[in-house]
């Protein structure tokens, strides 16, 4: 992921976290680093064990441990819980949790069990189906307001979760250092300095 893709991912999340889009890029990264630091020290406060299991499972399927660090290893679920607890307005938090419930309801309908209880192939199949029908990534303000009034679907819940997983993963220290190879906090800029 390059800087532009990261900033686009942040832009999609700015509606969920008020004021995030108003921060310069380095401050957005610093905000995320603060959430990561607090998430390491805190117990889960918003996600129930079942919700946490669903978030963790989906995050690990999206970003598995391979020769690179996986979503679970960087604490994506704890970051999301911390963000839900301290940074999201109640309406956005409630909508996110309803989206998780919609994903589990879709799994129950298709496979007879909640997402965590079905086989890995079924989980991946459901995620592919939800991913194909994602809502538009950058709706106009009017479209976003209309969508916020409608009940959230499994597709909408998956889109929200996927955005938060991407944010949590790519702002984690191990990923920023090893995959993106970017400093966590950029160094100073000295223009016109002779070499």
Q: Tens digit of pLDDT for each residue in 69-105? A: 999 999 999 999 999 998 888 988 999 999 999 999 9
Determine how many CB atoms are found less than 10 A away from the CB of residue 190.
6
Q: What is the pLDDT of residue 174?
A: 87
Which is nearest to 168 in space by CA: 60, 92, 67? 60
Query: Considering the chain, what is the average pLDDT of its residues?
Result: 82
Q: How far, in Å, CA of 59 to CA of 162, rounded?
A: 8
CA atoms within 13 A on the CB side of 161: 34
Tokens of 86: 């301290």
Whole-angstrom Cα distance, residue 29 to residue 50?
29
pLDDT for 12 beyond 70: no
């Amino acid at each position: 992921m390059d800087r532009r893709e990261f900033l686009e991912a942040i832009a999609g999340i700015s509606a969920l976290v008020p004021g995030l889009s108003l921060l310069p890029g380095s401050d957005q990264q610093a905000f995320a680093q603060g959430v990561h630091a607090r998430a390491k020290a805190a117990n889960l406060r918003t996600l129930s064990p079942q919700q946490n299991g669903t978030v963790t499972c989906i995050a690990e399927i999206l970003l598995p441990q391979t020769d690179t660090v996986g979503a679970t290893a960087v604490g994506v679920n704890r970051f999301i819980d911390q963000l839900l607890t301290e940074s999201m307005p109640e309406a956005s938090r409630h909508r996110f949790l309803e989206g998780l419930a919609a994903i589990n309801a879709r799994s129950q309908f298709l496979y007879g069990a909640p997402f965590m209880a079905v086989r890995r192939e079924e989980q991946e199949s459901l995620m592919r189906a939800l991913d194909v029908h994602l809502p538009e990534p950058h709706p106009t303000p009017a479209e976003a307001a209309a969508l916020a009034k409608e009940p959230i679907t499994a597709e909408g819940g998956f889109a929200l979760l996927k955005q938060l997983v991407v944010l949590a993963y790519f702002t984690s220290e191990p990923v920023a250092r090893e995959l993106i190879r970017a400093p966590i906090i950029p160094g100073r800029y000295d223009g016109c300095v002779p070499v």
